[in-house]
């Protein structure tokens, strides 16, 4: 791959160009967030993405930071109430997927994402046991195979896992080739889903900052209206 790619600011205006080396350094930088990875991947595929729509408007410095830096663009969180009817492993995995919004949302959806979840967990355990981190990394093609869906459909579902930070993108070199895939974003299932807890909490914190800002602005507006009305009332009384 060669050439340069356009970079856009939050107003979707072109602000320059960056080479592929710069983009890949951002994608594979240590500690790079899934949100940043998704952004630079989008630069590669779409040239000009729109940055976080959540950061627009007068939400204050803290609210803006929370919205634009911590939360992915167009994140959709769907938490459902579901209870397991048994302690069967597949049943528990299905319920977990439903509760975190990872299960197919169409009634006729046939993606077996709970089986993918169990496979990712087994690969993580094997990687920890053998002290070979690369074993935990599963390419998209393999993920689709375990979920019983097509590769492109797997990409459609994948963003939910990444939005909640349950999975992280990882690359490693095998036989001279760069292998790219995804793994649980923690040492086990609980660790990965704790990342989802943090993501949801960040979303709620940003939302309550918006509520706080809204209340303050309403109060200021009332005071401005009252101050504007006061001189007129005084003039009439004279």
pLDDT of residue 197: 96
Is position 90 within any domain? no
pLDDT at 35: 54
Say if 113 falls within a structural domain.
yes
Is the pLDDT reported for residue 143 higher than 50? Answer: yes
What is the pLDDT at residue 105?
79
pLDDT of residue 33: 54
Band (pLDDT 50/70/90 cuts) for residue 77 is confident
Q: Does pLDDT of 59 surpass 50?
A: no
Nearest-angstrom CA–CA distance, 33 and 31: 6
Distance CA 49, CA 18 (A): 14
Distances (CA, A) of 138 to 47, 131, 143, 171: 27, 16, 6, 10
pLDDT digits (tens, 9 = 90+) for 211-234: 999 999 999 999 998 888 876 555
Residue 48 scores a pLDDT above 90 = no
Count how many domains the chain has. Answer: 1
SS (H, E, C) 66-98: HHHHHCCCCCCCCCCCCCCCCCCHHHHHHHHHH
pLDDT (tens digit, 9 = 90+) per residue, 163-190? 999 999 999 888 888 989 999 999 999 9
Average pLDDT over residues 104-127: 90
Instruction: Please give the Cα distance from 133 to 178 (Å, whole number).
Output: 15
Instruction: Give the structural domain span for 221.
Output: 107-238
Predicted local confidence at residue 119, as pLDDT: 98
Give the CA distances from residue 32 to residues 49, 78, 185, in Å, rounded to whole numbers and listed in that order.
18, 25, 12
Percent with pLDDT over 70 in the chain: 65
3-state secondary structure 18-73: EEHHHHHHHHCCCCCCHHHHHHHHHHHHHCCCCCCHHHCCCCHHHHHHHHHHHCCC
Name the more confident of 51 and 194.
194
**Confidence check: pLDDT of 207 > 70:** yes
On whether residue 58 sits in a domain, the answer given is no
Whether residue 160 is predicted with pLDDT greater than 80 in this model: the reply is yes
Q: Where do runs of H (alpha helix) occur along 131-188?
A: 140-147, 151-163
pTM here is 0.64
Domain with 172 in it: what CATH number?
1.10.10
Q: How far apart are CA 233 and CA 237, in angstroms?
A: 6
Mean pLDDT across the stretch 80-88? 94
Q: What percent of the chain has pLDDT over 90?
A: 54
Mean pLDDT across the chain: 76
Q: What pLDDT does residue 32 have?
A: 52
Q: Is the pLDDT reported for residue 238 higher than 60?
A: no
Category of 74 on φ-ψ map: left (φ > 0), alpha (ψ -120 to 50) or beta: left
Give tens-digit pLDDT for 29-46.
Answer: 445 555 555 554 444 444
**pLDDT tens per residue, range 6-31:** 333 333 333 333 443 344 444 444 45
């Amino acid at each position: 791959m060669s050439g340069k790619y356009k970079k856009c600011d939050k107003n979707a205006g072109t602000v320059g160009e960056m080479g592929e080396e710069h983009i890949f350094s951002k994608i594979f930088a240590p500690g790079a967030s899934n949100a940043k990875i998704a952004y630079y991947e989008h630069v590669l595929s779409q040239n000009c993405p729109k940055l976080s729509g959540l950061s627009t408007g007068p939400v204050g410095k803290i609210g803006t930071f929370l919205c634009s830096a911590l939360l992915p663009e167009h994140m959709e969180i769907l938490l459902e109430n579901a209870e397991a009817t048994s302690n069967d492993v597949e049943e528990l995995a299905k319920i977990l997927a439903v509760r975190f919004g990872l299960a197919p949302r169409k009634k006729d959806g046939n993606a077996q994402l709970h089986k993918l979840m169990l496979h990712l967990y087994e690969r993580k355990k094997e990687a920890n046991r053998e002290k070979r981190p690369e074993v935990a990394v599963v390419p998209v093609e393999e993920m689709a195979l375990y979920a019983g869906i097509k590769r492109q459909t797997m990409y459609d579902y994948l963003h939910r896992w990444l939005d909640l930070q349950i999975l992280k993108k990882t690359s490693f070199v095998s036989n001279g080739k760069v292998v790219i895939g995804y793994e649980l974003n923690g040492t086990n299932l609980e660790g990965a889903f704790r990342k989802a807890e943090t993501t949801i909490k960040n979303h709620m914190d940003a939302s309550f900052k918006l509520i706080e800002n809204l209340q303050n602005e309403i109060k200021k507006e009332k005071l401005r209206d009252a101050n504007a009305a006061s001189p007129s009332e005084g003039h009439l009384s004279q």
